[in-house]
Structure 1
């Protein structure tokens, strides 16, 4: 049986971890999930089934525009989440 995977999810999570300090957004799990979900909605999915597909997606990741698109989507998502938090800042243990 084959597993279908959207490699964009993995890539967005990876870039989120790389730039979280620059996003200036709450670090709680709810806000993190909101930022990642919003970013993913702005990006095209990159589905793969085989190892070759994963390798192809990883190679595409090396392209500068790919990285720029992901970081831009994360920045927009962080801005939206920061200005529309679903909790009070005082309720968040992992604030900025």
Structure 2
């Protein structure tokens, strides 16, 4: 009985520690740089939120055509998924 309870508890703790939470974020952003990482085969934009901090952060852009239309020093309204240290663009429109 003790073994089964201990095993169940360890399983629950293991599964709880494996999950990484994600959150959808919607905000205005200004693109300051954009690029392509060949090793990861991914397009990205470096942005900041003009209404909050001036600290920049990267957002992965999975659609090459959308990435190519984005311009530096342009403000956009975006929705992106924040999961751990990675941000992935879901929607973007010109403000």
**TM-score normalized by the length of structure 2:** 0.20
Structure having the higher strand fraction is 2
Bigger relative contact order, structure 1 or 2 (CA pairs below 8 A, ≥6 apart): 1
**TM-score, normalised by the number of residues in structure 1:** 0.20
